[in-house]
């Protein structure tokens, strides 16, 4: 999960023509979030998430490129071209349209997924877009640097476009008490980006605010002159709850977002079970105490449940053209394995999640 000072408790593409509620055009574009912490000892973040999944009972979550070195020891390092090329092939098999990469400062190990995606010779058919955190904009100067860097990336031919040629960009909201400059000056930061995008020859970015509180997201969207709202992830703190409940909660969230009057990009939940991090808290989640709220999790989906939830999002976009003009869907997540939301194939379970996504999308 992104490096936020705190992860709040209830956290909280597709081209569809609609006629009388039926799809008559190509399906919407569907993407999945990539948070690339799986780089072993290249950073403290990489070491922390390895520790979370080290106990044997969590080895079923290990991505296909991990190694089990003992009952309490794993190595999870996917930071190389060969691994990312295989992930691209899996994403294409799933019929995903794009990956949404969280972007970090130059030189950060957290950028490895984006960097190897961009250098891949196999990425044709899989586009990308960016997720920028408000906390990354530490000052106006910092925001200017981010704008120039972002504009250079959205000018690439592989970048995901919506609404007739607008680059799709997600902005992850900080907590209300954040001291980051970007949390108070989002509109100014986005104006810098808009100017940089025009200079780079691109259309104005289609900006989606990610916040699990619909009213706050809508207010921020209006203040920053952004375009739509969604969430990075969404759940209501279920206790040992079934996946069907998680899917219902996410689908209710789409309706709550639309009720604010803002445009919406539906979030699809591939799961939510933070127990590895509850047992072994990661250093950036300073609010999490060991084993506190260990019972708050949702069961993993069955293949049919995952397919059904994704199809529901596609159908919702098709039936709510006014509320979803970008005709985009976002899945949590490609590789949030220690939080319980992933599509990437695993050592033990193989690629059934990829196949479940494929079945959902090939039927649209």
Residue 20 pLDDT class (50, 70, 90 cuts): very low
pLDDT exceeds cutoff 90 at 16:
no
Domain 18-37+78-362 sits in CATH 3.40.50.1450? no
Convert the pLDDT of each residue in 50-59 to its tens digit: 999 999 999 9
pLDDT of residue 3: 53
Tell me: pLDDT of 223 over 70: yes
Domain extents in the chain:
18-37+78-362
- Token digits of residue 316: 């919702």
Res 207: pLDDT? 98
Q: Say if residues 306 and 6 touch (Cβ distance below 8 Å).
A: no
Predicted pLDDT of residue 59: 98
pLDDT of 10 reads: 36
Of the listed ranges 3-17, 123-137, 198-212, the least confidently predicted one is 3-17
Q: How far apart are CA 27 and CA 317, in angstroms?
A: 10
Instruction: Say if CB 247 and CB 303 are below 8 A apart.
Output: no
Q: What is the mean pLDDT of the chain?
A: 93
Write the CB contacts of 213 (distance below 8 Å, at least 6 apart in sequence): 12
Q: Name the band, by pLDDT with cuts 50, 70 and 90, for residue 1.
A: low
Q: At what angle do helices 352-362 and 303-319 cross, to 10 degrees?
A: 30
Q: Which helix (H) or strand (E) holds 153?
A: helix 140-154
Q: CB–CB of 99/31 below 8 Å? A: yes
Percent over 70 (pLDDT), the chain: 93
Which whole-number Å values give the CA distances from 330 to 51, 77, 282, in the listed order?
Answer: 28, 25, 25
Which CA distances in Å does 339 have to 228, 297, 332?
Answer: 26, 10, 10
Q: How far apart are CA 3 and CA 285, in angstroms?
A: 8
Q: What is the pLDDT of residue 5?
A: 35
Model pTM above 0.85: yes
Predicted local distance difference test score (pLDDT) of residue 14:
31
Contact between 343 and 354 (Cβ < 8 Å): yes
**23: pLDDT strictly greater than 60:** no
Q: Residue 187: how many CB atoms within 10 A of its CB?
A: 14
The residue among 117, 131, 107 whose CA lies nearest residue 81 is 117
Q: Work out the average pLDDT over 73-93.
A: 98
Q: Examine the pLDDT at 149 and tell me if it is beyond 90.
A: yes
Backbone φ, ψ for residue 139 (5° rounding): -165, 175
């Amino acid at each position: 999960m992104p490096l936020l000072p705190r992860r709040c408790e209830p956290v909280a593409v597709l081209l569809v023509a609609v006629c009388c509620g039926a799809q008559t055009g190509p399906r919407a574009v569907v993407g999945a979030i990539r948070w690339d912490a799986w780089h072993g000892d290249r950073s403290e973040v990489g070491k922390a998430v390895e520790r979370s999944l080290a106990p044997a009972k969590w080895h079923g979550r290990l991505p296909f490129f991990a190694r089990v070195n003992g009952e309490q020891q794993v190595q999870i390092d996917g930071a190389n071209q060969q691994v990312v090329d295989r992930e691209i092939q899996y994403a294409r098999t799933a019929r995903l349209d794009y990956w949404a990469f969280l972007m970090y400062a130059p030189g950060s190990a957290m950028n490895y997924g984006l960097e190897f995606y961009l250098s891949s010779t196999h990425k044709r058919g899989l586009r990308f877009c960016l997720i920028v955190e408000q906390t990354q904009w530490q000052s106006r100067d910092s925001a200017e640097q981010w704008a120039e860097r972002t504009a250079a990336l959205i000018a690439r031919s592989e970048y995901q476009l919506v609404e007739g040629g607008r680059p799709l960009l997600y902005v992850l909201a900080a907590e209300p008490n954040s001291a980051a400059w970007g949390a108070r000056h989002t509109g100014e930061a986005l104006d810098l980006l808009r100017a940089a995008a025009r200079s780079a020859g691109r259309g104005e970015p289609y900006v989606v605010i990610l916040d699990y509180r619909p009213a706050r997201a809508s207010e921020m969207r209006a203040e920053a002159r952004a375009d739509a709202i969604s969430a990075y992830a969404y759940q209501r703190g279920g206790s040992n709850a079934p996946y069907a409940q998680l899917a219902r909660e996410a689908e209710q969230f789409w309706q709550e977002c639309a009720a604010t009057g803002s445009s919406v990009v539906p979030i699809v939940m591939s799961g939510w079970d933070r127990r590895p991090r509850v047992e072994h808290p990661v250093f950036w989640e300073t609010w999490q105490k060991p084993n506190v709220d260990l019972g708050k999790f949702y069961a993993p989906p069955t293949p049919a449940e995952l397919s059904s939830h994704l199809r529901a999002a596609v159908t919702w976009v098709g039936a709510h053209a006014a509320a979803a003009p970008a005709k985009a869907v976002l899945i949590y997540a490609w590789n949030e394995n220690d939080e319980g939301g992933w599509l990437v194939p695993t050592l033990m379970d193989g690629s059934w999640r990829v196949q479940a996504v494929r079945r959902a999308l090939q039927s649209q």
